A and B are shown apart, each in its own frame.
Chain A
Amino acid sequence: MAFLQVDHATKYFPNPSGGGQVCIFKDVTIKIEKGEFVTVIGHSGCGKSTLLNIIAGLETMSEGGVILNGREASGPGLDRMVVFQSFALMPWMTVFDNIALAVRSAYPDWSREQVVAHVHKYIALVGLTGAENKRPTALSGGMKQRVGLARAFSIEPEVLLLDEPFAQIDALTRGVIQEELIQMWNSSRNTVFMVTHDVDEAILLSDRIMLMTNGPEARIAEIVEVTVPRPRSRATIIEHPHYYRIRNHIIHFLVRHAKHERGCDGTPTSNSVSEAPVEVNFEKESPRAKLTAL
């Protein structure tokens, strides 16, 4: 059994345009090993953020379960910390207090000095020393998400859930923070589950990338192994021969499925729903052959 496993997860929402229910995704199974960095890419509305919230315990699923470390994980907990797209920093607290709130919750027995030292360590790690007493309003988007990352890493969770963490950050800053995230992750090696729209971000950061079809009844259609060795950096990764093959493959997938899946409103689609995801690995022999068979 994998370290983190989402087992046959299905989610229905009440239909906004009338009675009945809409199936957001159906029968999604995800297996993530300890220390692995896995990303889900899909179009808006395919339910990938819902999937992340379900793992975090912030939303419930209609069918299925989440198993972490051999136990069912129900409800939110300190072992699964989320980095939010909207940062979710308390605007009435300073940078220090925002992180300290998390540290005190994670380590309730710690003395005041221990908490202070721990918070300062993580503030330094994201390069925000000197901004401890600022409030989030006084920070740029990039700095806010650095605080969000520091808060998430500071409680040393077993699983880190990144919900489009850099979507609201300008492109130049985004690259810098992505590399900071790599460095933090290299030393902590948390298990990471990330959701994103950004193909380059996914390739740079992930071990495996799961491609989700459009909703309704979205599913994980393919799992792409990122066959670019670590350590990676933005400057060198594009020179790797597999980089553009992976990138093109993902973009083709996204374009194809944007057209393909439309028009099957709520009605059960073909038997493809319960099909296991196709594994794509460019180091192994001709993945294209498998794909054309689809």
Chain B
Amino acid sequence: MPSGTKSNPWLISGFLLAVFLLSWHFFTMRPTFDPRGMTEEQLQLMEFNGDIVKTPDGGYTWNPEKEKVKGVPGPLAVLDKARAELAEAFVKKGTNDHGIAYLVMYTVSRFAAGFLAASVVAIMVGILLGLNKVLFRAVNPYIQILKPISPLAWMPLLLYTVKDPKWTAILVVFMAALWPTLATTAFGVNSLRKDYLHVAAILQLSWIKRLFKVILPGAAPTIVNGLRISFGSALVAVVPAEMLLGELGVGYLSWIEWNNLDIAGVIFAILVVGFVGVILDSGFNKLAGLVTYQE
């Protein structure tokens, strides 16, 4: 452990979190209901409108149900929501009401399917283009046109052609993850040092050995960089795809809580999306560490 003279980054992190939570709490706090100066009719009207409710001891408080959509909920409200959701994490209440653990699992597997399929296709095509300069030049204009198209823009067309929101969501992730990996793989293979290929040629390596012993490991650091960009863009695409398609997942959660006007639920869903991103990202970094090398 570092000595006391060096400041610990965790202390600063904790301090920043505490400052954030406290200010969040105080800025969103609302004064308790004060019936003083109000006539009985006014109180009855407010109760009739649902603004306030009677407490067991005869007083009045703000209606907690109406409070949910007044202003922004504080951290305690979000914590209550989180506790309730996590307690039912593995419960399926109905076809569209699955516990949070299921929703995370759906999103992660949807993401993984689209991202892995896109990576395999992009790396294979990228290697082909990287090895053949003429082909690369022929195809490059199309890549440049297709690359900047938002993956979500494909959604109506995909939905129309595959006619299944489940596959459409995966394909949107696929489209988001395809181009960065494709472009960087082609670049990485193309700029692989000629010496390595010369050694492979002199040693008369078969094309399979050439691919797996020389080209892929040689281009791996560049390919991983492309995958990282693809990863980010796929992660950005998966949430709105779920929202728009109504496919169960963390993106869907945030949208359904908005439809329920449960703002605490919306905030909770945002936190879950961040949490899922962290899980996927750390998994990716572990994978990346295995294949990169130093020049």
Contact = CB atoms under 8 A, between A and B. Distances in A.
A81 B199 CA distance: 9
Interface stretch (A21-29, A98-106, A188-196, A199-207): A98-106
Interface string B208-219: 000001100110
Nearest to B202: A76
A91 interface: yes
B203 A102 contact: yes
A282 interface: no
A84 B218 contact: no
Nearest to A86: B195
Contacts of A93: 217
A86 B194 CA distance: 11
Of the four ranges (under 10, 10 to 19, 20 to 34, 35 or more), the interface on chain A belongs to 20 to 34
Contacts of A76: 198, 201-202, 204
A101 B213 contact: yes
A65 to B, nearest CB: 19
Nearest to B294: A137
Contacts of B202: 56-58, 76-78, 80-82
A58 B198 contact: yes
A56 B193 CA distance: 17
A105 B196 contact: no
B295 interface: yes
B220 interface: yes
B26 interface: no
A139 to B, nearest CB: 12
Contacts, number: 61
Nearest to A161: B202
Nearest to A105: B203
From A90, A102, A155, residue with most partner B Cβ within 10 Å: A90
B271 interface: no
Contact of B218 (A75, A92, A101): A92
A78 B204 CA distance: 7
B99 to A, nearest CB: 44
B293 A105 contact: no
A82 B203 CA distance: 10
Given A101-B203, A101-B213, A105-B203, A92 B195 contact: no
A75 B200 CA distance: 12
A93 B209 CA distance: 14
B204 A77 contact: yes
Contacts of A90: 196, 199, 213-214, 217-218
Contacts of B195: 84, 86-88
Given A88-B193, A90-B199, A92-B293, 5 more contacts: A56-B202, A58-B198, A84-B199, A92-B217, A135-B294
Interface of B: 193, 195-196, 198-199, 201-205, 213-214, 217-218, 220, 293-295
13 contacts: A58-B198, A78-B202, A78-B204, A88-B193, A88-B195, A88-B196, A90-B214, A90-B218, A92-B220, A101-B213, A102-B203, A105-B205, A106-B203
The 8 closest A-B pairs by CB, nearest first: A88-B195, A105-B203, A92-B293, A76-B201, A92-B217, A137-B294, A76-B202, A91-B293
